Structure 1
């Protein structure tokens, strides 16, 4: 790292004999006078990871992420410097590479290096936020959550929250089992009030325990206006962190994101 920050013109790097130095000096162009600027740019680019590490001191998790990423970035930077040195050694003495080209290469690598570190820090921050969200949602466990997911029937009625079309004068509840087969169609009041599905067939026997989905068909003058998914209330059994996203596990095994919950109520 130290040899890169010295104010040595790129055309002179790697030259070992006096004859080589003489030829390089003869071939040097006026642009080499700006070479010290390259050294300054290089010196700024090298400690990019150091400045990022200072930013991450606020959280131990983010700091560990940066520490883990540093060896890889350092290795990549060393490889880049080796390639740059080879390029300087093998340049045409009669037509040396412009010093501004080196500055562009160094600036480009520095930008990529900082972006990689930033991405690692964002991943760490996302994981922290996910953990915080899960802790806050721990109180939801045991409550009934309303969502558009399937409801679980275990012999007890399932609370449904229908949303009929505004012009509907008749609505029909369509019930589907886990295989998406329609097992029941029932006429229900044209209302957005919560209704209870008893889970009992026309023969008076209860349906098998399992997961059921519900749709509401809205009609006007016996003409279908549309069908919409009916929200269900299902017990929350677990909150978990899945790749930085807080997920809720419902009775019956259905897993949904916390953002999909539209209402909560105390369990009966």
Structure 2
């Protein structure tokens, strides 16, 4: 894995989301239509029966409200972009640092999501349940686990056979030994950050084969093993 920062220049997470842009354009379009209708109404009103004052006042209030909403959207977009830029800059500071992270959530990208599993002892049967960010179960797999740290890779294929979208997925492990007793499985990950992926909505730390959202970091430095 090449250390460093990755991200698509044309679709970076620092740019405005397309949904926000579409909403802003829609409001702007409605605003222009409103102005056209208002000016047309004023030009063509009957001098003998002019526009009702109360109605005109209400229209001016609507005009001011839409104008304020457009300005507010622009300010919110600016704040959001600044926040994302600040988050991205902070994430790059993790490169080369030794961290400990909660590994229950991993990032799926290019058909691969990897978790580090550390059973307290060997498990004859372990069921891995993978859920999306909304808590919906997308896949389950059953296999035996040896004692000690090991990786579990998921290719993004759901139980129904469809390929899951890139993003964050969580894992839940139910493991049992040969006697039927439950085995605890730790998903904590410790290691040196090789790089940071900024192409998604949240910076993702690259630690060996693992891709961990930055929100999962629990500890930085303090003599952690690399």
Any residues of structure 2 matched to 1:28-177 within 5 Å, and which? 80-142=34-96, 143-147=98-102, 148-149=104-105, 152=114, 160=118, 174=126
Query: Gapped runs of 5+ residues in structure 2?
Result: 1-23, 107-112, 131-138, 155-170
Conserved 8 A contact 1:247-1:257: yes
Comparing both chains, which one has the higher relative contact order based on Cα–Cα distances under 8 Å and sequence gaps of 6 or more?
2
Partner of 1:215: 173
2:184 maps to 1:184: no
Deviation at 1:231, TM superposition (A): 2.0
TM-score, normalised relative to structure 1: 0.44
Question: Alignment partner of 2:45: what SS?
Answer: coil
Q: Which has the larger radius of gyration?
A: 1
The whole-number CA distance in structure 2 between the counterparts of 1:228 and 1:99 is: 74
Query: What displacement does 1:215 show?
Result: 1.9
**CA distances 1:46-96 after superposition (whole Å, capped 9, x unpaired):** xxxxxxxxxxxxxxxxxxxxxxx9xx95x8766544322221233344443
* Deviation for aligned residue 1:228: 7.9
8 Å Cα contact 1:134-1:241 kept in structure 2: yes
Q: Determine which structure has the larger helix proportion and give its number.
A: 1
Structure 1 residue 122: Cα displacement? 1.4
SS of equivalent residue, structure 2 residue 90: helix
Q: Distance in 1 between matches of 2:68 and 2:186?
A: 48
**In the aligned structure 2, how far is the partner of 1:76 from the partner of 1:85?**
14
Tell me if structure 1 keeps the 8 A contact 2:99–2:218. Answer: no
Matched residue count? 164
The alignment's C-alpha RMSD in Å is 4.5
> In 2, distance between residues paired with 1:262 and 1:161?
20
Once the two structures are superposed, residues 193-235 of structure 1 have per-residue CA deviations (whole angstroms, 9 ceiling, x without a partner) of xxx32x4xxxxxxxxx76276725489x9687xx987423054
2:215 is matched with 259
Partners of 1:131 and 1:244 within 8 A in 2: no
- Structure 1: give runs of 5+ residues left out of the alignment: 1-68, 163-169, 189-195, 200-208
- The 3 A distance-change label for structure 1 pair 251 and 108 is farther
Q: What is the CA–CA distance in structure 1 between the aligned matches of 2:184 and 2:72, rounded to whole Å? A: 43
Residue matched to 2:11:
none
Decide which structure has greater strand share. 2
Q: Which of 203, 212, 216 is the matching residue for 1:246?
A: 203
Q: Which secondary structure does the structure 2 equivalent of 1:97 belong to?
A: coil
| CA–CA distance in structure 2, aligned partners of residues 161 and 185 of structure 1 | 7
Aligned to 1:183, the other structure's residue is in SS state strand
